């Protein structure tokens, strides 16, 4: 993909993910604070939660200033680093570009929460059967997870134009 195509895909994913993430968090704040809901016999639950830590509340017990600085700072580094990689990366195909766009979008969605909500991220979805359940998550988290999995399977499979190719007789060209 060309740089322009990668940027168009990034902006399209950003627009969709940030709109969905922020809209669903607004709905969760309005409708789930006092009234959690359960669907599909309890497989899907919607329940409002504010997470001051990272994944599974990791770091939530750190002093507020340290926690907010560390989590926001790491988030900014992740988003900026991945954006630079996406923009400057050569030979990135559609799938790795989509994976990076999902990671960037998910990171920005949670960063918006941290900045606007005093370090807290709104979570509201829980999936599981019986005692086996996920932690509470949101649309941004779903995009981060999907992007990481997608990148793990497609990110290392970019074309390399500097590798030697076999010549007509089957020997490697130098």
Report pLDDT for 66.
62
- 46 in a domain, yes or no? yes
Buried b (16+ CB within 10 A) or exposed e, 69-94: eebeeebeebbeebbeebeebeebee
Report pLDDT for 59.
60
- 167 in a domain, yes or no? no
- The domain containing residue 88 runs over which residues? 3-154
- 59 in a domain, yes or no? yes
- 115 in a domain, yes or no? yes
Of 57, 74, 51, 142, which Cα lies nearest the Cα of 103?
Answer: 142
Report pLDDT for 72.
77
Q: Which residues of the chain have pLDDT under 50?
A: 160-168, 173-174
Q: Residues with catalytic annotation?
A: 123, 141
Report pLDDT for 29.
94
- The number of domains in the chain is 1
């Amino acid at each position: 993909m060309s740089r322009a195509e990668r940027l168009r895909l990034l902006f399209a994913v950003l627009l969709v993910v940030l709109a969905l993430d922020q809209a669903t968090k607004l709905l969760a704040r309005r409708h789930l604070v006092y009234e959690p809901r359960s669907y599909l016999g309890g497989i899907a639950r919607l329940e409002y939660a504010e997470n001051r830590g990272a994944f599974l509340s990791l770091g939530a017990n750190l002093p507020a200033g340290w926690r907010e600085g560390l989590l926001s700072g790491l988030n900014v580094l992740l988003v900026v680093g991945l954006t630079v990689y996406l923009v400057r990366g050569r030979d990135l195909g559609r799938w790795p570009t989509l994976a990076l766009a999902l990671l960037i979008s998910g990171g920005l969605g949670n960063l918006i929460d941290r900045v606007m909500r005093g370090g807290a991220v709104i979570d509201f979805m829980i999936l599981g059967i019986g005692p086996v359940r996920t932690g509470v998550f949101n649309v941004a988290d779903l995009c981060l997870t999907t992007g990481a999995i997608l990148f793990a399977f497609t990110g290392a499979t970019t074309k390399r134009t500097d590798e030697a190719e076999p010549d007509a007789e089957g020997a490697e060209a130098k």
